[in-house]
Structure 1
Amino acid sequence: MEPTENSQSFNLWDIPQEQIEERGPGDDQGPIAEAGEVETIAAISGDESAGEAPSSPQGAQSVSTPPTDMGSVAQAPSDNPLEEMPDTEFPSQGELNEKIIDLVRFLLVKFRRMELTNKEEMMQRALRDYEEHYSVIFSKAAECMKLIFGVDMLEVDPFVHSYFLYPALGITYDGMLHGVIGVPKTGLVIIVLCVIFIENNCVSEEVFWYAMNNLGMYAGVDHFIFGDLRSLITEDFVEEGYVEYRQVPNSQPPRFEFLWGPRAYAETTKMKILEFYASIVRQDPRSYPEKYAEALREEQERA
């Protein structure tokens, strides 16, 4: 099968552009600085370019964050009240991205330690002086944790907003001992399972890497978060039982293909994978009627 034969699905992957933020060894931020293995992470940006400050306070409105002092807006005499407000009322997109990064780094430490965290702790350790923008920063950081690292956040106490972090979609493998040590690989496992499922549950190596290339992931090129992708997928994920990597029977020269492994079938479902995929491409799972019907049949068979 040619790579373009079923490539439409992967043109729909609409993952926002990533920003690499490097922290030097001198950046002592308490528990955040202890995430030594995670020197670069991705921050999900808004409409502005990652790290690029808007040219005016109006530009920062893309963050959808209310002004700190609503009264000052009501009393401003200008036709455009935002022009009369000092720049400090709106943090730039770059500043918000930095705080998203700080919060993700903090959450990664909590995940590694299997510790609960809460809003107060997040404010004190990662978001000090940004309380007004907590909801925006937290939602983006939670999205980053799930889409990139495959880590979900369960609110266990709504009164203090405390959260437990755990691998998403029922998968029990975090992959922190493989590839780049200390970085969760559950998100990569989920992406691999998505590619295989969308490509009719069995995908040739050529088509698989074509799809991964469209996501900025290349065999033989270390990924800036996960490391050696080929080794992770064809060795570690295979050894852990999430992926089957086999030679196509009677192929000369030898060709290989990818399938779900037994542990993937045991721990997650096609419906969960489809819903995850649909959330990335911002579609309803029913937008893929054949895949939705297949996933629904599997759920009915499991019931």
Structure 2
Amino acid sequence: MSSRARRQRILRDEDDEDDEYTQPSTSGTQRESKRIRQEDSSYNELDSQLTAEQTSQDLERKVNDTVRYALACEHRKQVIRKDDIARKVLTDRSRSFPAIFDKTQAKLRHLFGMELTELVSKEKSNPAKRAAANGKVVLSKTYVLRNILPEEQNDPQIIHHTDDEYQSTGLLYVILSLIFVNEQSMNDELLMSHLNRLRIPEESETFGDRARMLDGFVKQGYLQRQKLNAEVAQSDQPVFQYSWGPRAKAEVPEQNMVGLISSVYHVQGSELDRLQDSIYKAASIDT
């Protein structure tokens, strides 16, 4: 072999030796890739766990915030609007309203013996619009907190209220009962006549300004007030008609109202049955 050929062979052998150190083997490359994939998978799983935990904690905070908001609105006798919950409480989690609402209901029932009840929309004052509605119930996306405690737990010695609250609630129930037995509606002239007979003047020490008190019941949703048109009212002066508001319909079962009216007369047995039948008849309700 010539000297030139020997030099070329030596150079090729040196290049091959260098390649052994600079190029990893195929099996080594596969093991390294597998290790990297396993580490990435572990990191992704940990990230998923942390994200799920953070999401769960955030959801629970929103549920607690919604419970507090509902209780605050109930303390002020304000209706609870779905839009207000989404805007003031849920903010960036408004799309989670169904899940948060269900968890809120469960917590309210378990801890406070109350539940959120959606109110129906106000009835149309126009007879043609009422006929077009065809008796369909239209929900309003507004709620109130309704007491769902068993009757034996609705005891004044358990649930305390102030004297002002008892007086206001007592008068409200009297007004609701008067409306109930008057075919569930009453014009303002007749209502004021009844209040005068009950010695509740336009201004009293106990209830304050009578008109403002009625405005409060309307605002709270216990009463609904509608202005009658001239043909229906048959008067040149404005005439308003009062009926049960959506909150009263949600909070006060009609049977409870019948029981309240019956208890005033202190009757029992068959006489009580006749009285209750007459109350239902006066309210134009089929039993």
TM-score where L is the length of structure 2: 0.38
TM-score where L is the length of structure 1: 0.37
**Structure whose alpha-carbon radius of gyration is higher:** 2
